[in-house]
Amino acid sequence: MTNGVTFDFVHRFEPGTDASAPPLLLLHGTGGDETDLLPLGRALSPGSALLSPRGPVLENGMPRFFRRLAEGVFDEADVRRRAGELAAFIAQARDAYGLAAPVAVGFSNGANIAAATLLLHPEVLAGAVLLRAMVPFAETPPADLAGRPVLLLSGALDPIVPADNAERLAANLGRAGASVTHTVNPAGHGLSQADLAAARAWLANTIAT
C-alpha cells in the first residue's frame, strides 16, 4: 500500500473502516510514542483512519516533537523546522495511504506542534483538537485559517498551561480565521472524561468528510 515509501517519521497507521469518519493525526505528549494515542483516536472517532507519528526529538530519552529551552519556553526556530517536517510527513502519508487531510488530535507537546503546524502550514490539516495546548510562538505568524475548525480543551487546574496563555492561543487562532471552540474543564494537565466527551461530540458534529 505504501509502494516502498521510506517515511521521515517512525509511525503507526491504522486504515479507516468508516468512509464518513475523518482521518486523525495523533500527536503524543512528551515521553509518548506512536502507540500512545491510538486508543484515544479509536475512542474519539470509531472508524477513522489513524496516523500516529513518533516525535523525532529526544529530551532526556523522551520523544518530543520539538526542542524546548525550559518548561514552557520553546526553541521557536526548532518549532518552525519541526512543523515543516511534520507537514511534509503528512503530505507523504496522505499520498501513500490515500488519505484526505487529517484532523490533528494533539496532547500537550503534540498539541503545541499541531497549533504551530496549523499556523505555518494550514493546508495540511482539516482542523485540530488541541488538548492542553500553549501558544507556540511569541509573535503569531500571519496565517489564513479560513474557518478551519479548532477545538481547544484546557484544564482549569492545569499547573503547566496558564489560563491566560490558553486564552491567548484561542484568540490568536480566531484572529487568523479559525472557527475556535475553547472549553475549560475542571481538570489538571491530564485528560478527563469531560475532555473525551467534548472531543468526541465535536468531531462528530463539526468535521465533515
Q: Which residues are catalytic?
A: 108, 158, 189
Task: State the residue for C-alpha cell 521521515.
Answer: 8
What whole-number distance in Å separates Cα of residue 183 and Cα of residue 120?
A: 24
Among 173, 82, 182, 80, which residue's Cα sits nearest to residue 135? 173
Beta strands in the chain (DSSP E): 11-14, 24-27, 50-53, 57-59, 62-64, 68-70, 73-74, 103-107, 127-131, 149-155, 179-185
Parallel, antiparallel or unpaired: strands 62-64 and 179-185: unpaired
Of 2, 26, 70, give the one whose Cα is nearest residue 199: 26
CA distance 63 to 86: 14
The helix (run of H) or strand (run of E) holding residue 116 is: helix 109-120
Is residue 83 within 8 A of residue 113, CB to CB? The reply is yes
